[in-house]
Amino acid sequence: MSFILAIDQGTTSTRAIIFSSKGEPLHTAQQEFPQAFPCDGWVEHDPEQIWQSVLNTCREVLAKSGISANQINTLGITNQRETTVIWDKSTSVPIYPAIVWQDRRTAPYCESLSQDAELDEYLRQKTGLLLDPYFSATKIKWILDNVTDARTRAENGGLAFGTIDTYLIWKLTGGRCHYTDATNASRTLLFDLEKQQWDPHLLETFSVPQTLLPEVKDSADEFGLVDPTLLGAPIPIQAVAGDQQAALFGQTCFEKGMAKSTYGTGCFMMLNTGETPLRSNHKLLTTVAYRLNGQPTYALEGSIFMAGATVQWLRDGLQLISHASESEALAKKASKNNGVFLVPAFTGLGAPYWDPDARGAIMGLTRDTGIAEIVAAGLQSVCYQTKDLQKAMESDGARPITLRVDGGMSNNDWVMAYLADVLGAQVDRPKITETTALGVAYLAGLQAGIFENFSALTSLWKIDKSFTPKLTKAERDAAYSGWCQAVERVRQH
Ligand SMILES: Nc1ncnc2c1ncn2[C@@H]1O[C@H](COP(=O)(O)OP(=O)(O)O)[C@@H](O)[C@H]1O
Ligand SMILES: O=P(O)(O)OC[C@H](O)CO
């Protein structure tokens, strides 16, 4: 019997899950950790608390499973992406809190470079990304520019940079290994997508010394052995992938044209585009989906900031519901075609608009509008935003042939049915919606020889429910055009 331990280090919580050799989640431990918002638009995590949550959940899941660390064949790490940590190599102590992907503090710096059309095009071609505080490069620069002596220490080789995967590998191996994988590297704004190496021109542009950077490995590779004093055995770390890429892998979207959309706090839609990177002309991101045996497979990604978070706002902000799941019954009661649109631009709009100054709005209110209509409009906004991404992908010449969904909000049947309606396409929900951890477990299992190949994994994907479109094209177009008009009214850029 083989066991795989997957660590899923997310934005608000850490999970450790033990999977069987058939990809079944057997035991789970989860721990939330604090978020810090020290200034308007700033979001920080304490890397030490993240590390403790990883240790705690790994120890807890082992203890409650009755499986000893010696019986764990392999370990995989999947993580919130872009979040930036810099630490001292000799003490392993971070020199500043982790700057989280949502943090907007470098917006003025990005703005100051935004007139440089040449740089913009260079970034698009080399990294597949765009100039935005979301990615790691400007966060690294901010730490080096603002922490006393940091730049000198970095230039002298005393500091290390990592996204969360890299920091965890460092800690788990007792400071022996400074690695990342190609999916995480491809989110830094410093990585050449085609050459698969750090780009010297971008290191210079963002004033990042090369000595800070980790070695970039395949997503299934040898990332070192866990220090046996931590979990009780030297478990090999054999897979690393950013969480959205891991979800694509867990959904077994191995063929060009297969897409997944994850509905958690935000929504991340990712389409496998095969072995050649496809640059978007519609502000989608080009990214590494996974890299195996030195060969990258690429993806097109659309990132939406508010999906489940809109439901949280309906619950905590407006107090219209007490539990996220109540939204489903309420939405069913809403009058049809009521003309109410909720644009959840609470922190601006993500793909394909990238408008940081847009703000939220509810439009089309009448005397008949009640709680049900507002809740339904909140849920529908997630579907319309996915439609925006689908359209952008199509305009880039990449139509998804399948759409597989996962994440907490995908359990809402009303939302998934409306999603199929708005997209005019079938939406498939698998039995296991914990696809992020599953994806990295699959990668670790491939490296450890537990799974033979992609077809062994494909056969493990099982459908829970398919949603097929019921609206006519005219109805679909009318609803979507109402959404587009609502978005136009909140846009600033
Ligand atoms: N039945 C539901 N209907 C609508 N939203 C839901 C439902 N269940 C969970 N959610 C939303 O999904 C999110 C939780 O999903 P999860 O995948 O755990 O997110 P994350 O990993 O980003 O924390 C929450 O924002 C919650 O509001
Ligand atoms: O931690 P999540 O699931 O919200 O995912 C965060 C993304 O990786 C950010 O790019």
For 123-137, the pLDDT digits (tens) are: 999 999 999 899 999
Within 10 angstroms of residue 2's Cβ, the number of other Cβ atoms is 16
> Which pLDDT score, from 0 to 100, does residue 176 have?
95
pLDDT exceeds 80 at position 238: yes
- Where among 180, 211, 243 does a domain terminate? 243
The secondary element (H helix, E strand) that includes residue 290 is strand 285-292
Cis peptide, bond prior to residue 47, ω within 30 of zero: no
Q: Which atom of ligand 1 is nearest to the CA of 262?
A: 17
Per-residue pLDDT band at 446 (split at 50, 70, 90): very high
Q: State whether 120 and 57 are in the same domain.
A: yes
Q: State whether 303 and 187 are in the same domain.
A: no
pLDDT exceeds 90 at position 83: yes
Residue 354 alpha carbon to ligand 2 centre in Å: 17
Per-residue pLDDT band at 356 (split at 50, 70, 90): confident
- Ligand 1 pocket: which residues have CB below 6 Å? 10, 12, 264-265, 308-309, 311-312, 324-325, 327-328, 407-409, 411-412
State the total domains in the chain.
2
- Where among 243, 275, 300 does a domain terminate? 243
> Exposed, middle or buried: residue 233 (CB in 10 Å: 0-12, 13-18, 19+)?
middle
The response to whether residue 136 sits with its C-beta less than 6 Å from ligand 2 reads no
pLDDT exceeds 90 at position 412: yes
Q: State whether 192 and 298 are in the same domain.
A: no
Within 10 angstroms of residue 185's Cβ, the number of other Cβ atoms is 28
> Which pLDDT score, from 0 to 100, does residue 115 have?
85
Is 312 annotated among the ligand-binding residues? yes
The response to whether residue 264 sits with its C-beta less than 6 Å from ligand 2 reads yes
Please write the tens of the pLDDT for every residue from 29-75.
Answer: 999 988 898 988 899 999 999 999 999 999 999 999 999 999 999 99
From 14, 33, 80, 306, give the residue whose CB has the most ligand 2 atoms within 8 Å, as the site to mutate: 80
Kindly report the backbone phi and psi dihedral angles of residue 186, in degrees, each rounded to the nearest multiple of 5, phi listed first. -75, 0
> Residue 367: which CATH number?
3.30.420.40
Q: State whether 220 and 267 are in the same domain.
A: no
B/e letters for 328-338, b = 16+ CB within 10 Å, e = fewer, are bebbeebeeeb
Is 408 annotated among the ligand-binding residues? yes
Q: State whether 34 and 110 are in the same domain.
A: yes
From 84, 103, 243, give the residue whose CB has the most ligand 2 atoms within 8 Å, as the site to mutate: 243
> Which pLDDT score, from 0 to 100, does residue 402 have?
87
Kindly state the average pLDDT of the residues 204-226.
97
pLDDT exceeds 90 at position 490: yes
Domain span at 413:
252-493
Kindly state the average pLDDT of the residues 240-254.
97
Residue 306 alpha carbon to ligand 1 centre in Å: 11
Q: Is the ipTM of this complex over 0.95?
A: yes
Q: State whether 287 and 233 are in the same domain.
A: no
Q: State whether 220 and 275 are in the same domain.
A: no
Residue 54, CB-side half-sphere exposure with 13 Å CA sphere: 28
> Which pLDDT score, from 0 to 100, does residue 1 have?
84
Please write the tens of the pLDDT for every residue from 458-481.
Answer: 999 999 999 999 999 999 999 999
Q: State whether 264 and 216 are in the same domain.
A: no
Q: State whether 227 and 256 are in the same domain.
A: no
> Which pLDDT score, from 0 to 100, does residue 12 have?
86
Residue 95 C-alpha from the chain's centroid? 25
The response to whether residue 82 sits with its C-beta less than 6 Å from ligand 2 reads yes
Q: State whether 260 and 342 are in the same domain.
A: yes
Q: What is the mean pLDDT of the chain?
A: 95
The response to whether residue 184 sits with its C-beta less than 6 Å from ligand 2 reads no
- Where among 213, 243, 273 does a domain terminate? 243
User: Which residue's CA is minimally distant from atom 5 of ligand 1?
Assistant: 409
User: Which residue's CA is minimally distant from atom 4 of ligand 2?
Assistant: 11
pLDDT exceeds 90 at position 492: no
pLDDT exceeds 80 at position 493: no
Per-residue pLDDT band at 251 (split at 50, 70, 90): very high
Q: State whether 100 and 236 are in the same domain.
A: yes
**pTM attached to this predicted model:** 0.94
Residue 486 C-alpha from the chain's centroid? 27
Of all residues in the chain, the percent with pLDDT exceeding 70 is: 100
> What single DSSP character describes residue 355?
B
Residue 203 alpha carbon to ligand 1 centre in Å: 37
> Which pLDDT score, from 0 to 100, does residue 294 have?
96
d(CA 448, CA 236): 9
Per-residue pLDDT band at 404 (split at 50, 70, 90): very high
| Own/partner pairs, 387-390, CB within 8 angstroms, 24+ separation | 387/422, 387/423, 387/480, 387/483, 388/302, 388/351, 388/352, 388/353, 388/487, 389/261, 389/269, 389/284, 389/302, 389/304, 389/351, 389/352, 390/269, 390/423, 390/425
Asked if 58 and 16 count as a contact pair (C-beta separation under 8 A), the reply is: yes
The secondary element (H helix, E strand) that includes residue 162 is strand 159-162
Is 265 annotated among the ligand-binding residues? yes
Kindly state the average pLDDT of the residues 200-222.
97
